[in-house]
Structure 1
Amino acid sequence: MVTVGPHCLDDSEVRGVVFDVDGTLLDTMPLFYPSWPKTGDQPRFGLRVSEEDFYRLAGVPLPDIVHSLHVEQKGCAPSPEFVKDFVAEKVRVHKELEAVKGPPPPIAGVVALAKEYKSRGVPVAIATSGIKDIVLEHLHAVGLQDLVPRELMVFSSDVAKGKPDPAIYLEAARRLGVEPRFCRAYEDGESGLQSACLAGMETIDVTFMQDYPAPEALRKAKMEQISRREWLPA
């Protein structure tokens, strides 16, 4: 694993831990991607979504991804109705595909870390951009519904701004009752890494774990993102 940013904690200093879900606790990303181009290619939407785009925007709330792609490709902001319809169709298409392929598997090494913290008495929270109902379904499907108490699960719908804004991690720290500087965050996507880092937490990039399931598109996006981290504090 790799620490992002200057803030580092000794294990003895960690008073709370926060995990992202999609791409961190669960290997959802390869299963999430196909529904994006299938939705975007529909004539009523007309948005191209490459695998590189998908990993570049990993961790950003779905409506914000649609907004960003629309601005990039059409030169203007989409209407709220466009965004709402796109997200609804994307979720519908994904559920159809998932019914065939099955739910996303856990990422064993990351789940083991979360369970280890719990066994040591360190409180664990979740901070995810995922849609609440889908996240809960996925956690239940792989037996992780009790990994984190429901009151310590923070969704983007719970805060005013989603990742990369630090609000979701600040809310997770508040619910844990721990100052952010004594929290350790585990993330995979650039927007989530930025969110946790700007919240003042020690921030760990799980995609560099030895057994992390990383496709080539993710590795390519990761290297490009690392080279352009202007948001990183000195």
Structure 2
Amino acid sequence: MTSSPVTAPPAAEMLTGAPDTGTVFDAALAGRSHRLVRHDGVVLPLAVQRWHDDADAEDDWLLDRCAGPTLDLGCGPGRLVVALADRGVPALGVDVSVQAVQRCLERGAAVLHRDAFERLPGEGRWQHVVLADGNIGIGGDPVTLLRRCRALLAEGGTVLLELEPDAGLWCGVAYLECLDEPVLDTIGDAPWFPWAVLGPHAVDEVAAEAGLTVVARDEGARAFVELAPA
């Protein structure tokens, strides 16, 4: 879905004054309807209900490939962490959102309230790192994020990544628009934050720049790849 381009703040301002992304997503995780609006006017719906639901058959491609200790970055309410634990796979969720962490705890998911780029338990010993539900956007730089994921992996480990179907690479700034409130000066009031989108058309190049290579892929209604160190 697209709309007219909106005016984003200068990039330099975003680098020095970006808000806490966890706080930005708290309202959406609390159940209010939101969509993500990029500075180029492209609108991306947020699958908030899926985040809160139990994992289903659409998640199986990711879950089936988690054969050892798994770290879910940007885990949200923890559906994948719970599903892996139910399968007997050790899993830990990581999220900066207080709402996400609270809901993980409520459903019994192991979770850590921390930024993905801060020091994490077991660095270099995780068999799998998961980036689902658009979380390749975290930080606005997929190459840097994937390099971070690579550093978290044990020898022979992989990154399991969900992509935006039929997309390439986009990096910039975005804001969350609340659909449960009257449209006011949304563009002026909502905080902008760095974000990125990565799809099948660009994942091979981005992965290679991060020192990874695509070893498996699935492109349906949702698109996934598995990446291993090159």
TM range, normalised to the smaller chain? 0.3 to 0.5
Higher helix proportion: 1
Q: Which has the higher contact order (CA 8 A, sep 6+)?
A: 1
What TM-score, normalized to structure 1?
0.39
Higher strand share: 2
Q: How does the TM-score come out when normalised to structure 2?
A: 0.40
